[in-house]
Amino acid sequence: MRRSLTQWLTAKGSGRRSESGMTPGESRQSNQLRRLLLIPIPIFHSARRLLPDPLQIDLRTLTGPSCCCFKTLPNWLYRRALHGMSHHNQRGIVDIRRRLPGNWATTTTMNDIPVGLIESLRTAQHVAVLTGAGVSAESGVPTFRDAQTGLWAKYRPEDLATPEAFQRNPRRVWEWYAWRREIVSSVRPNPGHYALAEMEQHVPRLTLITQNIDELHQQAGSTAVIELHGSLHRTKCSREKIVIDDWVDTGEAPPRCPRCDGLLRPDVVWFGEPLPHAALQSAAEASYLCDVFFSIGTSGLVEPAASLALEALRHGAVVVEVNPQATPLTSLATYALQGPSGQVLPELVRMTWPE
């Protein structure tokens, strides 16, 4: 008789223990769990101590990606676990998601805002939001890759946004950022920016984490903004690493620091540089303390920001993705709202808090 998946995973083995310390039955269950999570054998055994005991797994306890038996996994393994929970396998691995209650991983269009999401927002005490380049692109800000036009088309972004590039040719790097600053100064926040600022007025606490360097969120009225990649509108000393507000314009590019005579540079994070520790720590805290987490206009590929949504999932938050295209997060999110943020977010705010 064919056993249920619960019986399959919880059946107890017997017999002598192998060198790994497992009985043959336990070893079989371990392999079954590994297959369920689609984790390669070497990786699985090296991380087995981080996994729940296969003998203790009962699918009746699974209520979504934040279930207790997955909370202890590291992010890289957690991602693989969720991937295994959402895909079939030619060898007959069961799609666990079909056994779970509720609207987990619901994908909707901008005209179909889920009632469950509206209720979650109305009762949320803390909302965290992560925004990426797609939000600014709706205002006309070129993405990092699209910024290579005109005189700058012959350069790769990596050749202009590294400490090494600045050391080789500081004038070229300074002028490229001055050109980008001029472009950004001509754009304005879009309805998505304003919707997030309005959302901040309706919830007890909203933390806005952005990968963008244009300060459009602040222009729209958002106050609790964490800038992971710095700001194009700030300048700092390349030697002392402190923000400089005023300096003597001698026509030199880049200008000199009035404190130490070092070269000034944009206060942005370049390739090869770590994210600001305080900003990253605050973002991580918001991700695991929030009730609702939004990922908006971001590809979900750039780390460590991409792990923030997984951290929110791990701690039981409702995770919402707003993006015109599917990303690696789409199948994992509680709700995936497909469409431009400038259209989806105003509609979401209007339906959640009608006047």
pLDDT of residue 203: 97
pLDDT at 297 over 80: yes
Residue 86 has pLDDT above 60, yes or no: no
Rounded percentage of the chain residues whose pLDDT exceeds 90: 56
Q: Which residue from 169, 281, 283 is spatially nearest to 224, judged by alpha carbons?
A: 283
For residue 143, name the pLDDT band (cuts at 50, 70, 90).
confident
Residue count of the chain, please give it. Answer: 355
| The domain boundary residue, chosen from 99, 128, 163 | 99
Tell me, yes or no, if 229 is annotated catalytic.
Answer: yes
Average pLDDT value for residue range 157-174 = 90
| pLDDT for residue 303 | 83
Distance CA 196, CA 219 (A): 12
Same domain, 203 and 319: yes
pLDDT tier, 111 (very low <50, low <70, confident <90, very high otherwise): low
CATH code of the domain covering residue 132: 3.40.50.1220
Tokens found for residue 177: 């950022």
Q: Which of 71, 99, 127 is the last residue of a domain?
A: 99
Residue 76 lies in a domain: yes
Which structure tokens are listed for 119? 């209720």
220 and 343 in a single domain? The answer is: yes
Report pLDDT for 149.
54
Does residue 295 register a pLDDT over 80? yes
- C-alpha distances (whole Å) from 182 to each of 16, 136, 175, 179, 224 are 73, 15, 10, 5, 25
198 and 273 co-located in one domain: yes
Residue 113: pLDDT over 70 = yes
Task: Using the predicted structure, report yes or no on whether residue 298 has a pLDDT greater than 50.
Answer: yes
The per-residue pLDDT for 202 is: 97
Q: Are 119 and 81 members of one domain?
A: no
- Reply yes or no on whether the pLDDT at 65 is more than 50: no
Q: What is the pLDDT of residue 148?
A: 52
Residue 350: the pLDDT is 96
**How does residue 132 score in pLDDT terms, banded at 50, 70 and 90?**
very high
Q: Is the domain of 339 the same as that of 214? A: yes
Residue 296 has pLDDT above 50, yes or no: yes
Of residues 88, 126, 217, 229, which has the active-site annotation? Answer: 229
- 46 inside domain: yes
Residue ranges making up the domain that contains 82: 21-99
Amino acid at 21: G
pLDDT tens, position by position, 255-276? 999 999 999 999 999 988 999 9
**Tally of domains in the chain:** 2
pLDDT at site 155: 77
Predicted local distance difference test score (pLDDT) of residue 301:
82
Convert the pLDDT of each residue in 14-47 to its tens digit: 344 444 444 554 455 444 444 444 444 444 444 4
Same domain, 197 and 342: yes
Asked if residue 335 has pLDDT above 60, the reply is: yes
Residue 320 shares a structural domain with residue 193:
yes
- In this structure, the answer to whether residues 93 and 52 fall within a common structural domain is yes
Both 26 and 123 in a single domain? no
The predicted pLDDT at position 11 comes to 42
